[in-house]
Structure 1
Amino acid sequence: MDRHATLVAFYAESKPSGLGDYVGGVQRRLVELLGGLFQPRPMPDVHATIIGLESFGRVQPPQELTELRASGSGRPDIAGLCAYLNTTLGQHPPQIQFGGFPNRDLGVTSRGQRLYTRTLTTNANQVILMGWPVDESGQPTEELERIRRDLQKFGVVHRYHKQAHDRDPDLYLVIGRVKQGDLSETGALEAIRLELSQATFTTPLLPDALRVATYDDTDLPLSTTRAWPLTDFLR
């Protein structure tokens, strides 16, 4: 089976203190409202994708780390990317906020929608919890969008940057799946969105929260995924 690479945050043991409790609380509320319709994702597997590294091509175990460290031959510069993020996030880590976004326009949108609506949403059968960088006054920013744009200099293009005007300021966590049906008809999403607008969790996106991971299953289960901190790529 093909193995590819991706850059993720908050995977497995790299979650900051308190994030697991916050996510777990949302999962429990979904179970309370939906019962067996909702299947929580195991907490170690919950992660945020910063940017996909699939353009690097397939990697082969057990030499995956060696391959990813090497640059040239038209492949993205993963080592340079990691060095850039280690410095940039180390000096000015974005403050990522989950929840706390009121149901009004805030200057930053997500797929053209208010952050309140996008805080908890679905994509196919996935249930997704989202957060965004905020400034010192708590206003959302597009800092993560700017970082993703900067990574183009290392030969990596974000999958949502298909056009020059495309924007993606989101940091999203797939926290579970629904077995069947449309959650919008249950009222569960809106009920929890309202609760989350009053329940905030904020954490800095520090270099040690990031991992370069290789996978053959896009869910990134611990049993089949390998992950390395940025420091393993620094020259």
Structure 2
Amino acid sequence: MTKIVIPTTPNVSLVAFYSDRKSPELAQLIRAIQTHLSDRLGNRFRPEPFPQIHATILGCEGRTTAVGILNRWFLERRQEYRYIDLSGFITFVKICDRLPMPIQFGGYNPGQDYGFLSRNLHPFERSFQVQGDVAVLTGWPRRHATFPDDLDDFRRRAQPFGILHKYHNTPDSVDNDCYMRVGTILDKIETELIQKIEAEIREMLRLQPVEIAIDAGTLQFLGYQTLPPQPETTAIASLGDATEDRLKSWYPPL
């Protein structure tokens, strides 16, 4: 059998908070983080254009074949040929009992046990990081005073529809992170300065928590041509407007 290669772009993803789907509080927090980074790094920091900042909820990447839309991550992570049931997945998202899903950004005290770690790190430390050259803001599902694995569960429950979450490398992998790329570091910065800036922004987040729900109003399907998705070249469908035929047309042909 000829090996099928699934291109990175164009492709499809389910996201939250894209374009104008950010609450005023979340928008203010993101701008404060970008401003702090710009103040500390000058032109060595490039803020992500505000409309394209988003949280990837579930990458639905694949490629059209004669049989159906072959899922990229089942193929690459598990070496399985699984085909995406777009109609079933859209219906699942609309009726999922995990939605609305409140997400808390910030408000994490370093000495407090929240009952979870993210990649073996305390949520205070993970709430803001420079990962390689990318500045990343991360939050987690919160219900009342608990922090359940609601987002990981949502991602896992997409598997029967032929969609594997990118970071579910193995059946027991967990990814409950709701993360957003807020900008890029353009130069080699000394480690000590990066660590100091990270600590400053984490403290800002600790004192200025924001909660926003992932729900029908904040979710959108994107048919993107580039990464990160550029608003001028990205097709968008709200949850109410998403159909199998519409999303299918966004996938790269074989």
TM superposition score category, shorter chain reference: 0.7 to 0.9
2:48 corresponds to: 41
Partner letter of residue 101 of structure 2? P
Which residue, 181, 197, 204 being the options, matches 2:206? 197
* Whole-angstrom CA distance in 2 between matches of 1:183 and 1:87: 48
1:5 corresponds to: 12
> Counterpart of 1:128 in 2: which secondary structure?
strand
Q: Does 1:110 align with 2:118?
A: yes
TM-score, structure 2 as length reference: 0.80
Aligned length: 220
* Whole-angstrom CA distance in 2 between matches of 1:141 and 1:198: 22
1:64 corresponds to: none
| Superposition deviation, residue 211 in structure 1 | 1.0
| Superposition deviation, residue 77 in structure 1 | 1.4
Q: Does 1:153 align with 2:199?
A: no
Which residue, 215, 228, 240 being the options, matches 1:231? 240
* Whole-angstrom CA distance in 2 between matches of 1:234 and 1:84: 13
Is contact 1:34–1:188 with CA below 8 Å preserved after alignment? no
1:211 corresponds to: 220
1:57 corresponds to: 63
The alpha-carbon distance between structure 1 residues 163 and 200, as it changes in their structure 2 partners (threshold 3 A), is: same
2:28 corresponds to: 21
Q: State the identity as a percent.
A: 28
Is contact 1:5–1:53 with CA below 8 Å preserved after alignment? yes
* Whole-angstrom CA distance in 2 between matches of 1:212 and 1:51: 10
Structure 1 residues 167-206: aligned runs within 5 Å: 167-182=174-189, 184-186=191-193, 187-206=196-215
Partner letter of residue 21 of structure 1? Q
Is contact 1:127–1:175 with CA below 8 Å preserved after alignment? yes
| Superposition deviation, residue 53 in structure 1 | 1.0
* Whole-angstrom CA distance in 2 between matches of 1:106 and 1:176: 28
* Deviation sequence 1:118-171 (CA, Å, 0-9, x none): 11112221110011111212x322110111111111110001001122110000
Partner letter of residue 33 of structure 2? V
TM-score, structure 1 as length reference: 0.86
Partner letter of residue 223 of structure 2? T
2:138 corresponds to: 130
* Whole-angstrom CA distance in 2 between matches of 1:161 and 1:226: 26
> Counterpart of 1:223 in 2: which secondary structure?
helix
* Whole-angstrom CA distance in 2 between matches of 1:183 and 1:83: 48
Which residue, 79, 83, 87 being the options, matches 1:79? 87
Partner letter of residue 201 of structure 1? V
> Counterpart of 2:13 in 1: which secondary structure?
strand
Please list every run of 5 or more consecutive structure 1 residues that lacks an aligned counterpart in the other structure: 60-66, 68-72
Partner letter of residue 208 of structure 1? G
* Whole-angstrom CA distance in 1 between matches of 2:243 and 2:225: 25
* Whole-angstrom CA distance in 1 between matches of 2:154 and 2:119: 18
Is contact 1:52–1:158 with CA below 8 Å preserved after alignment? yes
Is contact 2:124–2:206 with CA below 8 Å preserved after alignment? yes
Q: Does 1:140 align with 2:147?
A: yes
* Whole-angstrom CA distance in 2 between matches of 1:183 and 1:232: 47
* Whole-angstrom CA distance in 2 between matches of 1:42 and 1:117: 25
